[in-house]
Structure formats: structure tokens, C-alpha cells
Amino acid sequence: MAQSEHDSGAGPAAGIAERIDAARYRAAIIPTILMAILADHGRACGHDPDAWFDGTGLSAAQSHEPNQHVSYRQAMTIIRRALRAFGDVGLGLAVGGRESLSSFGMLGFAMMSSRTFGDAVAVGLEYHQISGSLLDVHMQRSGGAVALVARERFPEAELLPFLCEEAFASMSNVSRAMLGARHRLLRAEFAYPAPRYVHAYEAAFDCPLRFGAAANRMWFDAGLLDEPLATYNPISLAEALRACRAQAASVTTATEMLASLERWLRPRLGRNPGAAEAARALHMTERTLRRRLAGEGTSFRALHDLLRAERARQLLADPLRSIAEVGAELGYSDGREFRRAFKRWTGLTPRELRGTAGPAETA
């Protein structure tokens, strides 16, 4: 299993964090769409993808079958083996470049049937998990620009380039298919150093690139959100959305509930939502939510604190952000209160964490 950033044992929440991460890492809730495309690309390039799947509980052939799911752990095992087979050549860009709207089944059909590009983006963000996505994606606005922001679910530094390459190349392909000549990226940012094959990024994205950025973001003009789609069909859209909802609801494990709660909580960390509000958003009673969380070995507060600790660590890695600014983003108007909370979550003060950062984080 991947090393979790909460595995150090520091702080009283460490045991809970480790159990939650283990459950999330091993929950078979990821559709095998990407695994199938990776296998096809490998075979087309003369590799034997069956070796990548060996011992994972899934074969390359099974990855093409409908309604197959893998855990994050299984997916990462397959990807690591594929990367070793290909070497340092930009495998994620090649795999993402093979993807299209049709690769995503009913989700792709729903996006294509949307009224505007902005509506299609909203549908894609709401249901991107059923496309087999291995990153969490949300939208960020800044003035007249909009970014699709990709965030890793687990700290897998050696796999982050592949995951971002695949996700951004795929999103760029989909955007181009819907917008045609109107498609144009303003810039792309990546939270890791430039690879040696940076020329492949230039060819794939055709826009200014920035490496070592604070986040993984693909920026485009906000005006594109209002662009109408020639393929708009309200009847097809309604049918496709029903299918997407059914597909998303078909994963009914408790761990999926935990993932749903996390997705709901992450954009709301700064306003300290309560369990009752979260339960309503997940269409259950507060009592049911608390009972199911207890069954996962956690509680609403522990999960909320875990996510705030994760976000705080990410923000503190940016040396341009003050500790007070990080606390404010997480809903703490009093810097001392944030420092005490961070110490409770991690066993370290924010300043101590920055003192233990590597050169890339302290530069």
C-alpha cells in the first residue's frame, strides 16, 4: 500500500487516518475504463499487458468487460508495471490522447448532449468518477479564466505525472471534440518538475506550460462555458443523465459512502459544516450517517479533521502562503486556534511541518 501522509503515527487521529486510507485505497469502486485503454495502447506498442495485470485479480481481457471495477491499489499496481515497461516517454500523454467522449460511455454521451460547453463540464465534474478517473477534479474561477483542477487522492509522487498527463490530455481531447476550432487552452500548470520529454507536453497542449506550480490546473477562457454545442439534445441528455445516476448509485459499499462524504466535504472545509447538513446532502438521516461512519471506524468530526489536515499540508507546502492565510482558508479567523488544531491533527505545529519539508517545499 502507498505510504499515507498520515502514517507517521503523530497525533491521536493517526490510527483512524490509517484505517480510513487503507479502506479507501482497497475499495473496488473504480471502473476499469482507463485500465482497458492502457492495455490496448501497450499491446499496440508491442508490449504484453497481461503481465501488468498478473496477480491483481483482474486480467487485461476482463478490463474491457462492462461493470468491472478495481481498487486504487490495483490500478496503481498496473500503472507502475506499465511505466516500467515503457520507460520515461510520457505514457500518460499517449494514453490520454487515445481517449474521447465515446471512451466514457453514457457520461460522454451526456456531455455531448448538453446545451452548452459549461453544462457539459458541470456534468463531467459531477460524474467524472464513473469514467474511471484516478484524480479528483473540480473547477476554479479567477477573473475571466476558469481552471479544471486535478488533485491526487493519495500521495503517489512517482505516479503523479502519469495521472496528470492522462487526465489533462483526455480533458483536452474532449474539449476539442465539443468545441472544435473554438477550443484553446490559456495555460497548463503541473505541481511537479518538468520531465525530460517536455516537448511532448508542448505538442499535446499547445499552450504556455508551468511546472513546479502550486496545483495541477488546466486554464481556459471563462467565455467558452457559454458556447452552445451543436450536438445538444434535451431528450438524449435526460436519458443519459438517468444512466449516469444509476451507474454512480450502483456502487453501494460503505466505503463509497465515505468517498461521497469526502467529496462533499472538501469544497466546504472552510465553513465548518455539520453532520446534519452532510446527511441531508447524502439523502440520509444524521443518525444513519453517524452509524455508517462508526461502522467504518471513524466519526464525522474525525473525518472532517482528517480532510482539513490533508488540505492544510497541501497549502503549507506553498512557501508564499502565510500560516495565517492557510488557517483562514480552512475557516480559522484566529491563527492561534488553527495552530492548536493543526498540532492536534498531526502532532506538529505548522512551523515545525515547514521545517521538516524537503528542498522543493522550502525553496
Question: What would the pLDDT profile of 34-71 be if each residue is shown by its tens digit?
Answer: 999 999 999 999 999 999 999 887 889 999 988 788 88
Residue 245 maps to a domain: yes
Residue 177 maps to a domain: yes
Say whether both 221 and 103 belong to one domain: yes
pLDDT at 264: 84
On the question of pLDDT at 125 being above 90, the answer is: yes
Kindly provide the residue ranges of all beta strands, DSSP E only, lying in 143-201, ordered along the sequence: 145-152, 185-190
Cα 214 to Cα 6, 58, 176, 189, 286: the distances in Å are 21, 36, 26, 8, 36
Residue 141 maps to a domain: yes
pLDDT at 344: 92
Question: In the chain, what percentage of residues exceed pLDDT 90?
Answer: 64
**Which residues have CB under 8 Å from 341's CB, separation 6+?**
305, 308, 332
Q: Look at the chain and report how many structural domains it folds into.
A: 2
Mean pLDDT value across the chain: 88
Residue 281 maps to a domain: yes
Instruction: Of 95-99, 148-152, 359-363, give the lowest mean pLDDT range.
Output: 359-363
On the question of pLDDT at 117 being above 60, the answer is: yes
Say whether both 95 and 109 belong to one domain: yes
Cell numbers found for residue 315:
497549502
Domain holding 305: CATH number? 1.10.10.60
Say whether both 144 and 268 belong to one domain: no
Q: Which of 249, 273, 299 is the last residue of a domain?
A: 249
Section 111-115 average pLDDT: 97
pLDDT at 17: 57
pLDDT at 15: 59
Question: What would the pLDDT profile of 174-210 be if each residue is shown by its tens digit?
Answer: 999 999 999 999 999 999 999 999 999 999 999 999 9
Q: Which of 216, 249, 282 is the last residue of a domain?
A: 249
On the question of pLDDT at 141 being above 50, the answer is: yes
Residue 45 maps to a domain: no
Residue 285 maps to a domain: yes
Say whether both 96 and 233 belong to one domain: yes
Backbone φ and ψ of 10, nearest 5°: -75, 135
Q: Which of 190, 216, 249 is the last residue of a domain?
A: 249
Residue 2 maps to a domain: no
Domain residues for 245? 89-249
Q: Is 252 helix (H, G, I), strand (E, B) or coil?
A: coil
Reported pTM:
0.68
Say whether both 163 and 272 belong to one domain: no
Strand 209-211 and strand 216-221: the pairing is unpaired
Say whether both 166 and 304 belong to one domain: no
Say whether both 96 and 243 belong to one domain: yes
Section 292-309 average pLDDT: 89
pLDDT at 111: 97
Say whether both 265 and 235 belong to one domain: no
Say whether both 287 and 242 belong to one domain: no
Say whether both 354 and 227 belong to one domain: no
Residue 9 maps to a domain: no
Say whether both 185 and 205 belong to one domain: yes
Say whether both 219 and 344 belong to one domain: no
- What CA–CA distance (Å, rounded) separates 331 from 59? 46
